Amino acid sequence: MIRLLSLLVVVGSALPATAGELTVGFGEADVTPAIGKQPVFLAGFGQNRLAKSVHDPLMARAVVLADGGDKVALVSVDVVGLFLPFVESVRAKLPGFKYVLVSATHNHEGPDTMGLWGPNPLQPGIDRDYLGRVQVACVEAVTAADKARAPAAARIGTAKAPELLRDSRLPVVLHDELVALRFHDPKTQAPRGVVMQWNCHPETLDSRNTAVTADFVGYTVGHLRASQKCPVVYLTGTVGGLMTQLGLSVKDDAGRELKDGTFEKAERYGTLVGQAADRALKAAVPLELTPFDVRRRDVLVPMENPVYRLAYQLDVLKRQIYQWDGDPTPPKMVPTTNLEKPVAVKTEVGYLRLGELELAAIPGEIYPELVLGKVVEKAEPGADFPDAPAEPGVYDQMRGKHRMLVGLANDELGYFVPKRQWDERPPFCYGRRSAQYGELNSVGAEAAPIICGTFRRLARGE
């Protein structure tokens, strides 16, 4: 039976806030599945990978920030992905919040929470009871964090760590900036908590692992809890492309190369990410996080991927689909079950301005090119849409003093691939004999233009 005991880290007594005063609290709840009673299908690689043991716990971690009466919650869960309807159900149980963001770390060594990694391609791997318990845990973590709120001041720092990333798809573009925020008591300077964001798949244990684990994220959080002496929330950022540590050279203190698929490498990599966050926090500068400006928009994204359409038809992929007429924001979104006509899924894009910090909430695995404004100027021969306009870079729309991106925010639609770099049909780019990985796990070629265009409009207040 899943454990839902909230491991609340008390960061001070919850005090009434005056208008405009920043208060912050942290909370967490355990979402580790039980092994033995029901099969636990591990997500992120192939089908029928059954968990045989638990190596370390999976957690739902939350931070609640309040500007006077306005409250915002950010939740991170050690699972592969969570769909928008799940997030909406969590929000329904948390009245009084201006905004609740629920993201997944994209953990490839935890239970299937999307349905795509069951015993075979025709059967989902979701345990609905487990998913319900994860929902309860998200609410518990936020509630605990809200109760723990206390006045706080903040600092923000960044660190470059290109040595901790490998881009497994050409062209090589790394989003190698780690962002870390540290909250402290404004009077005593005592630490209240850390929020950090990094851009890499948690998949160090690879496809042969059969132990439930948070992968490197658990080690990163553990390192920071010890070094910063406070609770920690880890947020996943730009992981498309594909940002990975598989195939990346990681060595121990003695200079010995550590192998993919080992806990040694996961621990070492997680510690190195934690040390990068320590560097960022050492150079951190004061950060104003009030007032809050929250903007979100529901949009339709056409579901062009034939694998996803088949999964929906077979009831493996369980979510509502809608009629698609080419308009991402129609006057009315019309549900349908008719796959003989174009269909779409509803998702959400978010823009938050928290004082001097701008935050992009992106509902999937966005490519670094789309974040950093580095879509190739000239498409490779063989690209499927060589004349497609370059999408507006996410960071180009953020004009504030500081910025951060949360991926898999409130949904998981797979990869957002620059349309100009879409390469599903032969001949293939870069002289390859086969397609690169990416399009297979994307909802479709129109996803990136719609998501990036929607974010630009939100950032501009349109």
- Dig out the tokens for 286 from the structure: 């004061």
DSSP assignment letter at 257? B
Output the pLDDT for position 434.
96
The mean per-residue pLDDT over the stretch 95-105 comes to 98
Is 127 inside a domain boundary?
no
Domain-embedded: residue 389: yes
Q: Is residue 372 part of a domain?
A: yes
Tell me, yes or no, whether 275 lies in a domain: yes
Question: Does 351 have pLDDT greater than 50?
Answer: yes
Question: What pLDDT digit, counting tens, does each position of 43-96 carry?
Answer: 999 999 999 999 999 999 999 999 988 999 999 999 999 999 999 999 999 999
pLDDT digits (tens, 9 = 90+) for 395-411: 999 998 999 999 999 99
Mind listing the pLDDT tens digit for each residue in 184-201?
Answer: 999 999 999 999 999 999
Q: Is the pLDDT of residue 15 over 70?
A: no
Q: Which domain holds residue 382?
A: 151-461
This prediction's pTM: 0.95
> Does residue 225 surpass a pLDDT of 60?
yes
pLDDT value of residue 68: 85
Residue 118 lies in a domain: no
- Give whole-number Cα distances, 105 to 35, 303, 312, 370, in Å: 21, 24, 24, 20
pLDDT(7) > 60:
no
Q: Please write the tens of the pLDDT for every residue from 237-263.
A: 999 999 999 999 999 999 999 999 999
348: in domain:
yes
pLDDT class of 37 with cuts at 50, 70, 90: confident
Model confidence at 366: pLDDT above 70: yes
The mean of the pLDDT values for the chain is: 95
- As a whole number of angstroms, the distance between CA 131 and CA 109 comes to 16
- For residues 361 and 352, the answer to whether their CB atoms sit within 8 Å is yes
Contact 73, 100 (CB under 8 A): yes
> CA–CA distance from 361 to each of 74, 75, 365, 394, 411 (Å)?
11, 12, 11, 10, 10
Q: Is the residue at 337 inside a domain? A: yes
- The Cα–Cα gap between 245 and 243 comes to 7
The answer to whether residue 427 is domain-embedded is yes
Determine the pLDDT at residue 369: 98
Number of domains the chain contains: 1
